[in-house]
Copies of this chain bind each other. A is one copy, B any other.
Amino acid sequence: MTPQTIDDLPTPALILDRAVLYRNLKRMSDRLREAGVALRPHLKTAKSVTIGRMAIEGHDGRITVSTLAEARYFAQGGFKDILYGVGIVPSKLAAVTELRRQGINLRIVTDNLAVARAIADAAKDGDTFSVFIEIDSGGGRAGLPYPELPGLLEIARVIHEAPNVELAGVMTHAGHSYHESTPDGIAAVAEQERQAIVGAAEKLRASGISCPIVSGGSTPTAMHSRDFTGITEMRPGVYVFNDLDQEFIGSCKPADLALSVLASVIGHYPHRNQLLIDAGALALSKDISAQEFQPKVGFGTIADAPLKDMAVVACSQEHGFVGSDDPIPYGNLPIGSRVRVWPNHACITAAAYDRYYVVDSDHDGGKAIVDTYDRINGW
A→B interface (CB under 8 Å): 10-13, 44, 66-68, 86-92, 95, 111-112, 114-115, 118, 140-142, 145, 148, 150, 175, 264-269, 271-272, 276, 278, 281-283, 285-288, 316-319, 321, 334-336, 347-348, 351-354, 377-379
Interface centre among A89, A95, A269, A271 (most CB of B within 10 A): A89
The answer on a CB contact under 8 Å between B267 and A10 is no
Q: How far is the CA of A114 from the CA of B336 in the complex (A)?
A: 10
B residues in contact with A271, CB < 8 Å: 145, 148, 150
- A86-B319, A89-B335, A348-B286 known; A111 and B267 CB under 8 Å? yes
Chain B: minimal CB distance from A147 (Å) = 13
B residues in contact with A145, CB < 8 Å: 271
Q: Which of B115, B281, B336 contacts A90 (CB 8 A)?
A: B336
The answer on a CB contact under 8 Å between A44 and B318 is yes
A-B contact pairs, 7 of them (CB 8 A): A10-B92, A89-B264, A89-B335, A111-B267, A142-B319, A286-B286, A354-B378
Q: Which residue on B lies nearest to A148, using beta carbons?
A: B271
B residues in contact with A140, CB < 8 Å: 272
Chain B: minimal CB distance from A64 (Å) = 12
The answer on a CB contact under 8 Å between B11 and A379 is yes
Q: Which of B12, B91, B264, B378 contacts A352 (CB 8 A)?
A: B378
In addition to A12-B379, A112-B335, A142-B269, 4 A-B residue pairs with Cβ atoms within 8 Å of each other are A87-B278, A92-B264, A115-B335, A283-B379
Identify the 8 closest CB pairs spanning chains A and B, nearest first. A87-B266, A89-B336, A286-B286, A66-B318, A89-B264, A286-B287, A87-B267, A86-B318
Q: Which of B44, B87, B317 contacts A44 (CB 8 A)?
A: B317
Q: How far is the CA of A308 from the CA of B375 in the complex (A)?
A: 39
Chain B: minimal CB distance from A350 (Å) = 10
Chain B: minimal CB distance from A199 (Å) = 17
Q: Which residue on B lies nearest to A334, using beta carbons?
A: B114
Chain B: minimal CB distance from A47 (Å) = 10
B residues in contact with A86, CB < 8 Å: 266, 278, 318-319
Q: How far is the CA of A145 from the CA of B145 in the complex (A)?
A: 55
Q: How far is the CA of A366 from the CA of B91 in the complex (A)?
A: 21
B residues in contact with A148, CB < 8 Å: 271
- A67-B318, A87-B266, A319-B86 known; A335 and B272 CB under 8 Å? no
Interface centre among A67, A142, A379 (most CB of B within 10 A): A379
B residues in contact with A278, CB < 8 Å: 86-87, 89
